A = this chain, B = another copy of it.
Amino acid sequence: MTELTLAKALTAGLGQALADDDRVLVMGEDVGALGGVFRITDGLQSRFGATRVVDTPLAESAIVGTAVGLAMRGFRPVVEIQFDGFVYPAFDQIVCQVAKLHYRTRGAVKMPLTIRIPWAGGVGAAEHHSESPEAYFVHTAGLRVVAVSNPQDAYTMLRQAIASDDPVVFFEPKRLYHSKGEVDLDADIADAAPLGVARVVRRGTDVTLVTYGAQVQVALDAATAAEDEGVSIEVIDLRSLSPVDYRTVTASVRSTGRLVVAHEAAREAGVGAEIIASVTEQCFEYLEAAPQRVTGFDIPYPPAKLERHHLPDLDRILDAVDRVLGRGHRAGVTS
């Protein structure tokens, strides 16, 4: 085991994938000499050369569109979108091509494309640099969508995503890039939990708290705080946002009877809505209270100085936990 930051774990995962399979390519803006604005591709160009770690011209639609063509030629491109807010110019290529080509060709053409997206807020960034666009991709059939929350998953899941014959949108919480954890660099990705599986990161009996990405840490903190008040929270890290591992989620809700979902993204038609709707459909009779969402507001991502009001935090999560426990309200009265 090696202690690595989440960022370095991603670098290691990319390096391993490039070393294992010479059809793997890394491409994007500034991924070469600079190593990416977050240094995730640091050192890879000098190690693997400029034909495998490719600085591209500044155009996201073309980055994804040429990656599609490379995939058709048998490559496995790993595309870096510089920030979450810059994925939209590539939306057409992702939705109409990446997601549909396997279906369109009845399986003749595979799309083993990984689209890495440094993601979400809490880092005091400028406009368009803190977006949580995951629901757009979750709603798009044909894509797999994952979000990592710790260095080990970052390393393993990135390699699994690259190895997958399906296109994977891979979300990396910027806020956790510098957080550290133990990583087993030698583990076989076939032995690890598969891409589509959620993980119970803390056992609990009273409330199921489902989240992903940087919010996993917030959720764990909330669970610790709640413990002091005698509330036992089970925390689930979704890991895969599409498909959602409903087996793990519903098993938990069946035992707790109470569900809270937390994410930074806007609430309307977000991932939280999906989970609550599906859980309600699948285990209505086990629910003892209305499931609750703790999410960003339905607003454009606000200026940095205001972002802490927008993001779910420990207090807002505990407030929702109180609500789902029918405890009146920790603070204020949310109707």
A contacts, CB < 8 Å to B: 61, 85, 88-89, 91-92, 95-96, 99-100, 103-104, 127-128, 135-136, 138-142, 242, 265-266, 268-274, 276-278, 280-282, 284-285, 287, 289-293, 297-300
Q: In the assembly, what is the distance between CA of A273 and CA of B281, in Å? A: 10
**What separation, in Å, do the CA atoms of A277 and B85 have in the docked complex?**
27
Cα–Cα, bound, A96→B128 (Å): 8
Cβ A280 vs Cβ B281 within 8 A: no
* Nearest chain B residue, comparing its CB with the CB of A285: B290
A85 touches B91 (CB 8 A): no
| A287 CB → nearest B CB, Å | 8
Specify which of A100, A290, A297 lies most central, judged by the most chain B CB atoms within 10 Å of its CB. A290
Top 7 nearest A-B pairs (CB, nearest first) are A284-B290, A88-B92, A276-B277, A91-B91, A273-B277, A273-B273, A269-B274
Our pick among B135, B277, B291 for the contact of A293 (Cβ within 8 Å) is: B277
CB–CB A89/B88 < 8 A: no
Cα-based distance from A139 to B293 in the complex (angstroms): 15
- Within the complex, what minimum Cβ distance (angstroms) separates A249 from chain B? 14
Query: In the complex, which residues of chain B have a beta carbon less than 8 angstroms from the beta carbon of A299?
Result: 103, 141-142
- When distances are taken between beta carbons in the complex, the residues of chain B under 8 Å from A128 are 96
